Amino acid sequence: MSAPTRCVFLVRGIVQGVGFRPFVYRTAVALDLAGSVRNEPEGVAIEAEGPRAQIDLLQRALWTSAPPMARVESVDASWLPPAGIRGFAITASRGSTSTTLVPADVATCPSCLAEMCDSGDRRYGYPFINCTDCGPRYTLIRGMPYDRAMTTMATFSQCPSCLAEYTDPMSRRFHAEPNACPACGPGLSLLDGFGALVEAPDPLAEAVRRLRSGAILAVKGLGGFHLVCNARDATAVDRMRRLKQRDGKPFAVMSPDVDAIRAFACVAMDEADLLATPARPIVLLRKADLFDLAEGIAPNNAFIGAMLPYAPLHHRILSDGAFTALVMTSANPHDEPIASGNDEAVRRLSGIADGFLVHDRDIVTRCDDSVAAVLAGRTRMIRRSRGYVPLPISMPVDGPPILAVGADLKNAFCVTRGGLAFMGPHVGDLANAATAVWFEEAAMHLCGLLNVRPAAVAHDMHPDYMSTRLATLLRDLLCPDAPLVPVQHHHAHVLSCLAEHRRTGPVIGLALDGTGYGTDGTIWGGEILMVDGANFGRHATLRPLPLPGGDMATLEPWRLAVSILHQADADNLVAAFSPRWPVDSPRIDAVLGLCRNGRDLPRSSGLGRLFDAVSALCGLCPLASFDGQAAMAVEHAAIEVPGQPDPYPWEVDRAPTGLSILDPRPMVLALAADLLTGTPPSVVCARFQATVVCAYASMAIDVAVATGLSTIALSGGAFQNRHLLAGISRRLLAAGLDVLSQSLVPANDGGIALGQAVAALCRQ
Ligand code: ZN
Ligand code: ZN
Ligand code: FE
C-alpha cells in the first residue's frame, strides 16, 4: 500500500443543499480516508488523508457519483504532506452565505418512491416523503441559509425516528430539510366545493373516488394548486374549460409513466428522457394518430403537453391504475396568478372546483410547471419555472447585481450576482393587479434569498409597459439610488440567446417575434440586428403592416388579413375571403375603410402579425383567444405537408438609410390566388413558412457578407415554431455560418430578462 498523503479539494458548482457533504462523507468513509468536508462560500471544501490511490478514487467519485441534483463545475486539488488526521467528519460551514445557491424543487427520487410503495416501510403511502436527493426546495424556502428553520417545515418538529435520520451522516436524509413522516409531518385533508372539511378516513382515496366519478378537484402540489380531472372524461374536461374561461389554451396532462403517455402522444427517446428529468417539465409532444383523450384538452392543436408525476402525492393519485391520464392545469381563474394558499384557493376557486385536496405545508413562492420541447434536436425551454428556478445560468459578463424585469407577456424576471443569472419563476402576463403584486413579491423574495441589492434595474424600452412601471417601483423600494436601464426588446432577445453561449457579440441577431417597442417608437418584430454588447444596429426588417383597430388586431387576425390584402393592392379580394371569417360584412367594410384612409394606423413589423394575417386568410384562426394562437394554427396546419415545399416569391427593398425591408406583397398575392383556386390551407401554410425561412435566411446571409460577421444568434418567440427554427438554422449552416439558438431559457419573452441583464452589465 502506498504511503499516506493529504489533499485539499475545492468543489465548485451546485454543491450545496443537494446532499453533497453526506455523499462525500459516505464515500470517504467507504474508502477508509481520514479528513473532513464543509461548505465554504466558494463551494464545498474537502480535506482527505490516506493512500494516494484511495484519494484518487475519491476525486474520481466527485465527478462520477455526485448526488443527482449536484452539478460539479470544477474540482481544484492541492497536495500536502500528511498531518496524521484520524476519522472523517462533516464540519461547520465557514464564511458567509452570500455565494451559496438556492436549490430548485426536485421530483421524488427512485429510493423514496420504493419506500413509499413498501408496505413494511414506516413511510408506506406517505404523500410527503422526500430526502436530500428530492423534494420541495425553492417553493418552501423563506430565507437563507437553507436550513429547516428558514422553510415552511419549521412548524413541524421531527419525531425521534426522523431526527435520527436527519442527524446521521450515513442516512439519505442527513440534513434533508423537509424531512417528514406520517407521525410528524404534513397531512392531507379533503374539502368540499365550499371549503368545508369532508369527513373521510382516507382523504386521498376519497379524492380519487370523486375524480373517478367526474369531479374537478383543486389539488395542492409543490408550487401551487392544479385543477385536476380525468383526461378521458369529456364532460369533466368541457366543464373545466367552461369554468376556467380558457377558450383555446391547451391543458396539460399527467400520466403515471411514459408508456401511458404513448397511448395518446408520440414520444421519441430524447422526449422520454426530458419527461423523466428530475425537473419534470411539461413536454410538448405530437398527438398520436389515435388520440383518445377528451378532445377539449387541446382543441385544434397538433400537440399535447404531458408530464410525469413529480410529487409523491401525484404518484399516489395515479398509483391505483384508476387513471392513465389526468388533466393537471394551473389553478388560476382567467389570467390571474396560480393559487397557492389553502384559504386563497377556496376563495378563488369555489365555483370552479368541486373539492379541494389540500395539505398543511405552506408554499412560500408560487411556481408553475415548466414547459419544454425537443425542437431541432435539442431541449428548448418554453416556460422555465418549477424544477429549474432559481438554478443559475452562467453569463459572459460579471459585475454588480442587476434586476431585470422582463417584458409584459410571459413575464419572468432575472436577478444577477457576479457572473451568474438567476431567472425568477414564470409570472405570466402582467395584465392585472394580482399578477403585478405577485411579481413584486417574487422579485423582492429572490433578491433577498440571493442577498443582493441591485445596482441597476433593467427594463423594456416600451413606455406603456406595466413592467416598465414595476421597474420604477422596485427600484424605489430596493435601491433608490440605482439607475433604470431601458433595453430595446429585440436587442435583449439576441443578448439572451448570446448569454447562454457565454458571448456578447459582435454577432448578427435574428429576432423574430410578435411585438416589441422599437427605438423609432413603432412596433418591431421581424428584425435582423448587429449586436455587440450594449450596442446594436438595425440591418433588416419586415415591411410594417398597418394594424386596423390597434391592439384589437392581435385577437382579431381577420383585421390583419384585410390590412395585408389592402397593402398588396388587392382590396378586390377582400369580399372573396370574407366568408372565411365569422364577422358581418359592415364590420369588414369598416376595417377596409380604416386601411384605405389609414395614414395614422399603428404599424408593426412583427413577424407574428404576418402569421396572423395568413392564418386568417386560410380561415384557420380569424378570431383568436390568446396571443400566438393564430400563428400556432399555421404551424400545425403545415405539419401535415411532407417534404420541402416551394417558397412563394418575395422582394427585398433597400431604404435610403441602408435598412433592408422584406416586402411580402408578392407572396401575399400568390398565396391568395392559391387559396381562391382551392389549394388546401395546409399546403399554403407550408409554402408560407418556407418563404419566411428562405427570405430571412437569405437576408441574414447578406448581412453576414456585408458586415463580415459569421455568427448568427436566433431569438424571439417565432423560433418556437419547429419549421422556422430547423429551416433557418439549416440554411445558415449550409452557408457556412455559425448558428446560436436558445435552449436554457425560452426564446420567447420569458427569456428576455436575461438579455436585459446582460445589456445592463455591458453598459456598466
Ligand atoms: Zn428521495
Ligand atoms: Zn417523523
Ligand atoms: Fe419578444
234: domain CATH number?
3.90.870.10
Using an 8 Å Cβ cutoff, are 457 and 485 in contact? yes
**Model confidence at 246: pLDDT above 80:** no
Measured from the alpha carbon of residue 108, the closest ligand is 1
If you measure from the C-alpha of residue 198 to the centroid of ligand 2, how many angstroms do you get, rounded to a whole number?
Answer: 25
If you measure from the C-alpha of residue 312 to the centroid of ligand 1, how many angstroms do you get, rounded to a whole number?
Answer: 10
**Eight-class DSSP state of 358:** E
In terms of domains, do 585 and 723 share one?
yes
Nearest-angstrom CA–CA distance, 112 and 121: 10
**Model confidence at 481: pLDDT above 80:** yes
- pLDDT, tens only, 687-704: 999 999 999 999 999 999
| 249 within some domain | yes
In terms of domains, do 150 and 193 share one?
no
Nearest-angstrom CA–CA distance, 641 and 21: 54
In terms of domains, do 592 and 660 share one?
yes
Confidence at 40, pLDDT banded by 50, 70, 90: confident
What pLDDT was estimated at residue 741?
A: 98
Closest CA to 580 of 597, 557, 608, 603: 557
Domain with 24 in it: what CATH number?
A: 3.30.70.100
Amino acid at 170: M
If you measure from the C-alpha of residue 748 to the centroid of ligand 3, how many angstroms do you get, rounded to a whole number?
Answer: 6
Bridge partners (DSSP) listed for residue 141? 151
Using an 8 Å Cβ cutoff, are 545 and 523 in contact? no
In terms of domains, do 198 and 144 share one?
no
Nearest-angstrom CA–CA distance, 323 and 210: 12
Nearest-angstrom CA–CA distance, 468 and 325: 41
Report, as an integer, the average pLDDT of 663-681.
98
Domain with 572 in it: what CATH number?
A: 3.30.420.40
CA atoms within 13 A on the CB side of 540: 26
Which burial class, exposed, middle or buried, applies to 627 when counting CB atoms under 10 A from its CB (0-12, 13-18, 19+)? middle
**Model confidence at 94: pLDDT above 70:** no
Bridge partners (DSSP) listed for residue 651? 663
Helix (H) or strand (E) holding 304: strand 303-307
Given its phi and psi angles, is residue 353 left (phi above 0), alpha (psi -120 to 50 degrees) or beta? beta
If you measure from the C-alpha of residue 179 to the centroid of ligand 2, how many angstroms do you get, rounded to a whole number?
Answer: 8
| 365 within some domain | no
Measured from the alpha carbon of residue 173, the closest ligand is 1
If you measure from the C-alpha of residue 170 to the centroid of ligand 2, how many angstroms do you get, rounded to a whole number?
Answer: 18
If you measure from the C-alpha of residue 134 to the centroid of ligand 1, how many angstroms do you get, rounded to a whole number?
Answer: 4
Confidence at 2, pLDDT banded by 50, 70, 90: confident
If you measure from the C-alpha of residue 44 to the centroid of ligand 2, how many angstroms do you get, rounded to a whole number?
Answer: 29
Measured from the alpha carbon of residue 718, the closest ligand is 3
In terms of domains, do 664 and 693 share one?
yes
Measured from the alpha carbon of residue 107, the closest ligand is 1
In terms of domains, do 156 and 251 share one?
no
> Model-level pTM?
0.94
In terms of domains, do 673 and 578 share one?
yes
**Model confidence at 485: pLDDT above 70:** yes
Domain boundary among 62, 90, 118: 90
If you measure from the C-alpha of residue 364 to the centroid of ligand 1, how many angstroms do you get, rounded to a whole number?
Answer: 21
If you measure from the C-alpha of residue 260 to the centroid of ligand 1, how many angstroms do you get, rounded to a whole number?
Answer: 23
Q: Which domain, by its residues, includes 633? A: 523-530+540-740
**Model confidence at 716: pLDDT above 90:** yes
Give percent above pLDDT 70 in the chain. Answer: 98
CA atoms within 13 A on the CB side of 139: 29
In terms of domains, do 549 and 674 share one?
yes
If you measure from the C-alpha of residue 110 to the centroid of ligand 1, how many angstroms do you get, rounded to a whole number?
Answer: 7
| 297 within some domain | yes
Using an 8 Å Cβ cutoff, are 362 and 380 in contact? no
Nearest-angstrom CA–CA distance, 446 and 389: 10
| 49 within some domain | yes
Closest CA to 22 of 167, 130, 180, 179: 167
Render the burial of 130-168: b for 16+ CB within 10 Å, e for the rest. bbbbbbbbbbbbeebebebebbbbeebebeeebeebbee
| 217 within some domain | yes
If you measure from the C-alpha of residue 340 to the centroid of ligand 2, how many angstroms do you get, rounded to a whole number?
Answer: 25
User: What is the tally of structural domains in the chain?
Assistant: 4
Measured from the alpha carbon of residue 186, the closest ligand is 2
In terms of domains, do 39 and 132 share one?
no
DSSP class per residue in 531-594: EETTEEEEEEEEPPEE-TTTTHHHH-HHHHHHHHHHHTT-GGGHHHHGGGSSS-HHHHHHHHHH
Backbone angles phi, psi at 135, to 5 degrees: 115, 180
Nearest-angstrom CA–CA distance, 678 and 684: 10
Give percent above pLDDT 90 in the chain. Answer: 84
Q: What are the C-alpha distances in Å from 702 to residues 255, 524, 535, 694?
A: 48, 20, 21, 12
**Model confidence at 95: pLDDT above 80:** no
Report, as an integer, the average pLDDT of 659-687.
98
| 117 within some domain | yes
If you measure from the C-alpha of residue 341 to the centroid of ligand 3, how many angstroms do you get, rounded to a whole number?
Answer: 32
Report, as an integer, the average pLDDT of 596-624.
94
Domain boundary among 331, 359, 387: 359
For residue 233, the SS3 value is coil
If you measure from the C-alpha of residue 103 to the centroid of ligand 1, how many angstroms do you get, rounded to a whole number?
Answer: 15
Using an 8 Å Cβ cutoff, are 107 and 313 in contact? no
If you measure from the C-alpha of residue 174 to the centroid of ligand 2, how many angstroms do you get, rounded to a whole number?
Answer: 13
- pLDDT, tens only, 487-526: 999 999 999 999 999 999 899 999 999 999 999 999 999 9
For residue 148, the SS3 value is helix
What pLDDT was estimated at residue 99?
A: 64
Q: Which of 87-96, 455-464, 671-680 has the lowest mean pLDDT?
A: 87-96
Measured from the alpha carbon of residue 68, the closest ligand is 1
With both helix axes pointing from N to C terminus, report the angle between 312-319 and 203-212 in degrees, rounded to the nearest 10: 60
If you measure from the C-alpha of residue 514 to the centroid of ligand 3, how many angstroms do you get, rounded to a whole number?
Answer: 6
Q: For residues 244 and 466, which has the higher predicted lDDT (pLDDT)?
A: 466
Strand residues in 429-500 grouped as ranges (E): 456-460, 484-487
In terms of domains, do 29 and 141 share one?
no
If you measure from the C-alpha of residue 228 to the centroid of ligand 1, how many angstroms do you get, rounded to a whole number?
Answer: 25
Q: What are the C-alpha distances in Å from 643 to residues 217, 683, 703?
A: 45, 11, 28
Measured from the alpha carbon of residue 19, the closest ligand is 1
If you measure from the C-alpha of residue 78 to the centroid of ligand 2, how many angstroms do you get, rounded to a whole number?
Answer: 41
If you measure from the C-alpha of residue 163 to the centroid of ligand 1, how many angstroms do you get, rounded to a whole number?
Answer: 16
| 434 within some domain | no
Measured from the alpha carbon of residue 136, the closest ligand is 1
In terms of domains, do 126 and 200 share one?
no
**Model confidence at 125: pLDDT above 60:** yes
What pLDDT was estimated at residue 101?
A: 78
If you measure from the C-alpha of residue 719 to the centroid of ligand 3, how many angstroms do you get, rounded to a whole number?
Answer: 11
Closest CA to 533 of 740, 753, 755, 716: 755
What pLDDT was estimated at residue 182?
A: 97
Q: For residues 73 and 477, which has the higher predicted lDDT (pLDDT)?
A: 477
Which burial class, exposed, middle or buried, applies to 12 when counting CB atoms under 10 A from its CB (0-12, 13-18, 19+)? middle
Nearest-angstrom CA–CA distance, 146 and 30: 28
If you measure from the C-alpha of residue 226 to the centroid of ligand 2, how many angstroms do you get, rounded to a whole number?
Answer: 27
Amino acid at 141: I
Domain boundary among 45, 60, 90: 90
Nearest-angstrom CA–CA distance, 238 and 673: 38
| 752 within some domain | no
Confidence at 433, pLDDT banded by 50, 70, 90: confident
Secondary structure percentages of the chain, helix, strand, coil, to 5: 35, 25, 40
In terms of domains, do 294 and 197 share one?
yes
For residue 357, the SS3 value is strand
Q: Which residues are near ligand 2, the ion (C-beta closer than 5 Å)?
A: 159, 162, 181, 183-184
Amino acid at 747: A
Confidence at 334, pLDDT banded by 50, 70, 90: low
If you measure from the C-alpha of residue 484 to the centroid of ligand 3, how many angstroms do you get, rounded to a whole number?
Answer: 20
